[in-house]
A and B are shown apart, each in its own frame.
Chain A
């Protein structure tokens, strides 16, 4: 941290003196190198580990080829019928379901964040919750789960159905980590 700040300050002085020295630059263009890497969800800054947590294959990682492995969730999971006598086809209608142990979220960034989810789709609601805290669904920055640097927690997925047709719904759930010191609109 200190080292990076130092670099930034020194560079600022350098840039300023350059501008004074030439006197009249009508335009300048500086190409700067950027190296960015994408990595698997489980290793990213906002780590979503859906491979070492989960049951019945409800949580997994799908390989996107060059784009790495990203978390994906399936209800019911492919192994949901492996216990004798159980073979659920899915969640009932006009019901609320809480599926626990779906993934571990870890803050691998350098500042505290708030973790929450955002959903809009064909079902009434999909959201994440902290399985060890009954405080409710994590659906906004202010209602999110605070994560210090390095801290993690295990999410569950909440699903609320209405009177939708019986079908398979391929939905997207946004998992969001936002710096807590920033105000968001």
Chain B
């Protein structure tokens, strides 16, 4: 049911200092040189000289070219690779999460009722930008925590080969079972370093759906209702705070 997946936000903070510029050409068709104007006219300039006397420009509008290329999710700055599993698919140009049997590679038609299901290595997120970013997931539409059940979202730096959910790390915004080994997940102060992606690095994303209302894996307050799975998952990547500080 968790469908339609989008890279919501990528923030790119350039780091490198550029090489020195070359100053040779003149010219930009935007403004007149008013100081020269006044000097050239002298005392004969009547009303115009008074009008121009402040030397101020009142407005400049400069149209500048900006070329922007769009890319499919897998090749974008924030790369989302759906080829890791049959539970994610790049439909058209964007990644879609499919836990409803809609993917032709799946034999099942959906989640078991009243059961806890875990899907590892569903898709991967790659940083194709030029600075380290911290990746976060959130319900589509607005930044913030994921709902308190039944879905939890985990990550690992490498492709997971361990079936134990406790080997995974929950995203900072995700609920996490009490018995989970990880200290991370929602309401815990630490943010795992593995959510920080250096340029060229990727992480693998895993999903768990805790629908068993007798086990209450996410705690008694958490929902086990499938309707509380968000329809979209937002993915947010922002420059790490350390990099922000040195950006100047």
Which residues from chain A sit less than 8 Å from chain B, CB to CB?
A: 1, 4-5, 7-12, 14-15, 32-46, 48, 51-56, 58-59, 61-76, 80, 83-101, 109-111, 113, 118, 123, 126, 131-132, 157, 159, 161, 164-179, 182, 184
Beyond A90-B76, A176-B59, whether A35 also contacts B40 by CB under 8 A is: yes
Q: Which chain A residue lies CB-closest to B30?
A: A44
Beyond A68-B25, A95-B76, A111-B54, whether A7 also contacts B45 by CB under 8 A is: yes
A95 touches B129 (CB 8 A): no
Q: Which residue of A35, A67, A83 is within 8 Å of B27 (Cβ)? A: A67
What are 15 of the A-B contact pairs (CB < 8 Å)?
A5-B50, A5-B53, A9-B50, A11-B44, A39-B28, A40-B25, A46-B31, A55-B14, A68-B26, A68-B27, A90-B69, A99-B14, A131-B247, A171-B67, A174-B62
Main SS at interface, chain A: mixed
A-B pairs under 8 A by CB, number: 322
Least CB distance from B235 to A in Å reads 9
Alpha-carbon distance A119/B6, docked complex (angstroms): 24
Most central of B21, B44, B201, B239 by chain A CB within 10 Å: B21
B67 touches A70 (CB 8 A): no
B59 touches A179 (CB 8 A): yes
A67 touches B66 (CB 8 A): no
A110 touches B247 (CB 8 A): no
B67 touches A11 (CB 8 A): no
A4 touches B26 (CB 8 A): no
Judged by a CB distance under 8 angstroms, whether B214 is at the interface is: no
Beyond A32-B41, A40-B25, whether A8 also contacts B69 by CB under 8 A is: no
A101 touches B62 (CB 8 A): no
Beyond A45-B60, A157-B66, whether A32 also contacts B11 by CB under 8 A is: no
A63 touches B75 (CB 8 A): no
Judged by a CB distance under 8 angstroms, whether B118 is at the interface is: no
Q: Which residues of chain A have C-beta atoms less than 8 A from B26's C-beta?
A: 37-40, 68
Fill in one digit per residue for B11-38: 1 if any A CB lies within 8 Å of its CB, else 0: 1111110101101011111111100111
Stretch of B77-85, B104-112, B222-230 contacting A (4+ beta carbons < 8 Å): B77-85
A75 touches B69 (CB 8 A): yes
B21 touches A52 (CB 8 A): yes
A98 touches B11 (CB 8 A): yes
Q: Which chain A residue lies CB-closest to B128?
A: A88
Judged by a CB distance under 8 angstroms, whether B48 is at the interface is: yes
Most central of B10, B94, B130 by chain A CB within 10 Å: B130
A95 touches B66 (CB 8 A): no
